[in-house]
Structure 1
Amino acid sequence: MPFQMIEAEKLASAVVRQIENLILRGILRPGDRLPSERELAERLGVSRPSLREAVAELQSRGLLSTRAGSGIFVADVLGSAFSPALIRLFSTQEDALDDYIAFRRDMEGLAAARAARKGSDTDLALVDTIFRKMEVAHTKRDPSEEASLDADFHMAIIEASHNVIMLHMMRSMMDLLREGVFYNRSIMFKQRTTRDALLDQHRAINDALQARDSDGSQAAVNAHLSFVRRCLADQREADKHEGVARLRLQKEVGS
């Protein structure tokens, strides 16, 4: 008969599985520091030797890393998503910017539709909380905080979609945004009219999500990122015109 003796799962294996799941679901993020060995063992209800065995296993799998004198951290599991050479190439090619925005628009539109359908009330409360912070930051003259919250808002929607493949892929895309590989978001937020329009667009996305309007959420994301794409195209054209104008001025002053 095809039956085998059932064995009790080792405590270390249960710890490994729990931490793996937290990383997979994006709850533990690259760079996050784990609690001290004593505290983590107490939280998990396991002995310190069992915890050490689990940590060693996760380190061998490349999911955790140790920093001398600092503790144990979640490894940068997405560090190789884009090589430094490819990132530099992205930053020098105009077409890459258009493709980046188009890709984000397609994927985030799908994520928003999924979030409206599958996100929990807590997921949507988090999105709303970040948007309320954006409203407060919008009243400040310095746009840097609002620009930072913009990335957090979009990432919260992706997390609310509960698709782990999309989550990790889009987190790497958002890292490129935060690092300013394609464009400096702060520039977009400096113009008051553009800044007002961006806030209204985020409000439309949030309203559709809170209403659990799947189609409306996707449409609002598409409209927002299409607007971003147009603004960046206009800025590139304006920069080119400014370059030509400066050449003309130099010629006139020098003549």
Structure 2
Amino acid sequence: MVGMDITRVSHDRLSDKIVNQIINMIREGSLKPGDKLPNETILSEQFGVSRGILREALTRLQSQGYIRRKPKDGTYIQDDAQNKLMNESVDELLKKATYSDLLDFRETLELKMIERVIERAGDEEIEELFDVLGVADNEEIQHNMDHYFHYKLAQASRNIFFMNFIDTYYDLISEIANRSHRDQERRNQIAEEHLAIATAIANRDKAAARKAVLHHMRMVDKKIESMK
């Protein structure tokens, strides 16, 4: 059983305060993956709350993936709790970023991503990129197709962080992207730009793929600037 520096909680939403305190202890390293927490009686006394409030907090922590509870054994910090916190910290930073920040970061990431696709992906994986090309009839479908194409690129790179970023990025820019995709001419251009990227990757040509990605990012940036 680990030693824990616990502060008694007070005021409303006591279960929230317990959740936040335990998450902070995981973040700071005083609670480590695999650590076993004290039993509910001891833990509720240390926090200064009823067992009902403690159980509510533990249930939330379990549903969020920070702890696991073993019947007749006890409560443990999940093995991947630190990784989960790191991913959530990245998500928070992205939410605070400007669109320009996101686009700069995405450009840098995708240039590295297409190199990894060329190095790691099999011919079948690359061929699948061509299956998601095309021009949609409306902005929402185009946005989804755009998202899926870049997600398939990230998937083919075999890097889970690339995949997570693409999902987060497209969630954050959905409103802006849908406005951009209302233009039929722009939708046609997007299809051509994606085709150029996929073709360069299929040819295993890093220089051409890099050029195609940079052109695509410049066109995205140009369209956003025209909407301001």
Q: TM-score, normalising length from structure 1?
A: 0.52
Aligned pairs, number:
154
State the partner residue of 1:150.
146
SS at match of 1:190: coil
State the partner residue of 1:124.
126
SS at match of 2:88: coil
Q: Work out whether 1:159 is the aligned partner of 2:139.
A: no
Determine if contact 1:127/1:206 at 8 Å carries over to the other structure: yes
State the partner residue of 2:108.
106
The RMSD of aligned alpha carbons is 2.9
- Alpha-carbon deviation of 1:222? 0.9
Q: Per the alignment, do residues 172 and 139 of structure 1 end up closer, same or farther by CA in structure 2, a change over 3 Å counting?
A: closer
Which blocks of at least 5 consecutive residues in structure 1 are unaligned?
Answer: 1-51, 53-57, 64-74, 91-95, 237-255
State the partner residue of 2:47.
none
- Alpha-carbon deviation of 1:194? 1.2
The residue identity in structure 2 corresponding to 1:110 is K
Structure 2 CA distance for aligned equivalents of residues 218 and 59 of structure 1: 43
Aligned pairs (5 A) from 1:205-216: 205-216=197-208
Structure 2 CA distance for aligned equivalents of residues 220 and 146 of structure 1: 19
Which blocks of at least 5 consecutive residues in structure 2 are unaligned?
Answer: 1-69, 71-75
- Alpha-carbon deviation of 1:160? 1.7
- Alpha-carbon deviation of 1:178? 2.4
SS at match of 2:87: coil
Picking from 186, 194, 208, the partner of 2:178 is: 186
Picking from 75, 78, 83, the partner of 2:87 is: 78
Q: Per the alignment, do residues 120 and 88 of structure 1 end up closer, same or farther by CA in structure 2, a change over 3 Å counting?
A: closer
Overall identity of the aligned pairs, in %: 16
Determine if contact 2:142/2:187 at 8 Å carries over to the other structure: no
The residue identity in structure 1 corresponding to 2:220 is V
Q: Per the alignment, do residues 181 and 192 of structure 1 end up closer, same or farther by CA in structure 2, a change over 3 Å counting?
A: closer
Determine if contact 1:116/1:209 at 8 Å carries over to the other structure: yes
- Alpha-carbon deviation of 1:139? 4.6
> Would you identify which runs of 4 or more consecutive aligned residues in structure 1 move more than 6 Å?
none
Structure 2 CA distance for aligned equivalents of residues 88 and 117 of structure 1: 31
State the partner residue of 1:232.
224
Structure 1 CA distance for aligned equivalents of residues 155 and 128 of structure 2: 10
Structure 2 CA distance for aligned equivalents of residues 213 and 198 of structure 1: 20
